[in-house]
Structure 1
Amino acid sequence: MVSLSVDHGFTAYGPSHWVVLGLFAAGAATVVVVGRRQRSRRFPRAFAAVVLGLQVGIHVYLMLPPRWDVRSSLPLQLSDLAGPVAAWALWSGSRWAFALTYYWGLTLSVQALVTPVLRVDFPDVGFLLFWATHLFVVWAAVYLTWGLRRRPGWRDYRLAVLVTVTWAAAVFALNVVLGSNYGYLNRKPATASVLDLLGDWPWYLVPEAAAVLGVWALMTWPWTRTRTA
């Protein structure tokens, strides 16, 4: 999850947060309706261009002085990777990209909407980019799943687990080299978080991984049950 740390007064579940959540609900309903009515490739490709453009925008913003820091500005969080993957899923219809968008977008990006690591408030450009990037990834997952009626299966689940474990191993090693903490794999975040309930490092990684695998399994089971019923 991208963290924007200049304090301009953002408060979780304050007025601006509720406005964003309202926009999220309205946008999710809209993309479902559009997906069921629209069969042209123009809409998903325009959607993909917006998603990718927003991802480029926020990372350019984070890499410019004075925000640049190799330990926090690189696009190495899973939520950072979810944007380009979602854009490719929309543009190409790729099965693997849809699978990762479904699992990453509907858990990690939704978590960013519910528990944002954000201190800048509207109309700061960081506020706008943070919310836009996360909203559009979740909307992409909703559009592909409920708008276009694409369905994940256990093969997709295994793919998402394999890719995520590979990412975790690579990023853990990079954190050791850089002294960074991408993915909060090498230590807990400095601020209070749900990880505080899971024990000390590295033990909190075990229940965290188990929770992710369990939630993803629950997100897969209803669709496979419907197909085999």
Structure 2
Amino acid sequence: MFSLSHFVTLTIFFFISTFIFIHRKKLSDKRWRKAELATALSLILIEITNHLWMYKHAVWKFGRSMPLELCNIGLLLAIGLLLTRKKILFELLFFIALLGATQAIITPALTYDFPHFRFFHFFYAHMMIVWVTLYFLWAKGFYPTFSSVIKVVLFINLLLPAILFINKTADGNYWFLRHKPKSPSFMDLLGPYPWYIFSLESLLVILSLIAWLCMRSWLRGEKKSSYSES
């Protein structure tokens, strides 16, 4: 975290995010459909490659290698959104990307540095989760609603018992429900085990509501700007 390679990656992340916002009207063109499908394919291929790499190097384990982390779930949602353009997928992805993937990019729990394959996989997957979300938000006009907040909270809490069961049976730590990541992260500010889990649950609700309110305010500003221009 905060090495030279990390700072360069953060620069690329913010540059592309800004590019999507500036060129959002051009990106709304239907001709970008092929790019959406190609991006989905690239995410599928890099995820398959990652599992093959883990298997080849004998580090694949049921308790830590299944695509069950929130960002893994976010990646699957991003692929599904790119393929189907279903709004329900965007509603779930929006909060996971904004609150989960962005945090992972800024404070990565990663032991491999540039130019290792795992470095590329980690940042490509996480940044794409955010970029796909921003693309559908700014270019395609998908917006979260208050019901989106309810949906994502229900979605995560319905998955919670299954994740707890898998952690117990497979000696895993998915969602960091058994202990915090060994590398520094924002979870260090949320108290000891198990209280940081309740802190995470509270943050999920509070930050999701804040994100929704910010998007609602931004959307109102965009509408007023459109009316004034017309």
Q: TM-score range by the shorter chain?
A: 0.7 to 0.9
Cα offset, 1:171, TM superposition:
0.3
Residue-by-residue CA offset, 1:119-150 (whole Å, 9 max, x unaligned): 21111111111111111111111111112221
2:51·2:60 contact (CA, 8 Å) conserved in 1?
no
CA 1:120–1:191 in 2, change beyond 3 Å: closer, same or farther? closer
Q: In structure 2, what is the Cα distance between the partners aligned to 1:223 and 1:17?
A: 28
In proportion to residue count, which structure has more helix?
A: 2
Equivalent residue for 2:13, pick from 16, 24, 29: 24
Residues 29-108 of structure 1 aligned to structure 2 (within 5 Å): 29-33=18-22, 35-37=24-26, 38-40=29-31, 41-108=33-100
Residue-by-residue CA offset, 1:21-78 (whole Å, 9 max, x unaligned): 1111222233345542122222222222223322323233233332222221111101
Q: Structure 1: where are the runs of 5+ without partners?
A: 1-11
Q: In structure 2, what is the Cα distance between the partners aligned to 1:191 and 1:17?
A: 14
The alignment's TM-score, normalised by the length of structure 2, stands at 0.86
Map of 1:177 onto structure 2: 169
Q: In structure 2, what is the Cα distance between the partners aligned to 1:158 and 1:55?
A: 29
1:55·1:83 contact (CA, 8 Å) conserved in 2?
no
Q: In structure 1, what is the Cα distance between the partners aligned to 2:52 and 2:58?
A: 12
1:102·1:141 contact (CA, 8 Å) conserved in 2?
yes
**1:114 maps onto 2:103 in alignment:** no
Cα offset, 1:188, TM superposition:
2.7
Q: In structure 2, what is the Cα distance between the partners aligned to 1:160 and 1:60?
A: 31
Map of 1:14 onto structure 2: 3
1:185·1:205 contact (CA, 8 Å) conserved in 2?
yes
Q: In structure 2, what is the Cα distance between the partners aligned to 1:192 and 1:22?
A: 21
Q: Which amino acid aligns with 2:190?
A: L
Identical columns (%): 24
Aligned length, in residue pairs: 218
Instruction: Give the alignment's Cα RMSD to 1 decimal.
Output: 2.1
Q: In structure 1, what is the Cα distance between the partners aligned to 2:151 and 2:196?
A: 24
Q: Structure 2: where are the runs of 5+ without partners?
A: 225-230
Q: In structure 2, what is the Cα distance between the partners aligned to 1:96 and 1:62?
A: 32
Residue-by-residue CA offset, 1:159-196 (whole Å, 9 max, x unaligned): 11111111222101111111111111123334444333
Q: In structure 1, what is the Cα distance between the partners aligned to 2:157 and 2:115?
A: 37
2:91·2:148 contact (CA, 8 Å) conserved in 1?
yes
**1:161 maps onto 2:150 in alignment:** no
Q: In structure 2, what is the Cα distance between the partners aligned to 1:183 and 1:63?
A: 22
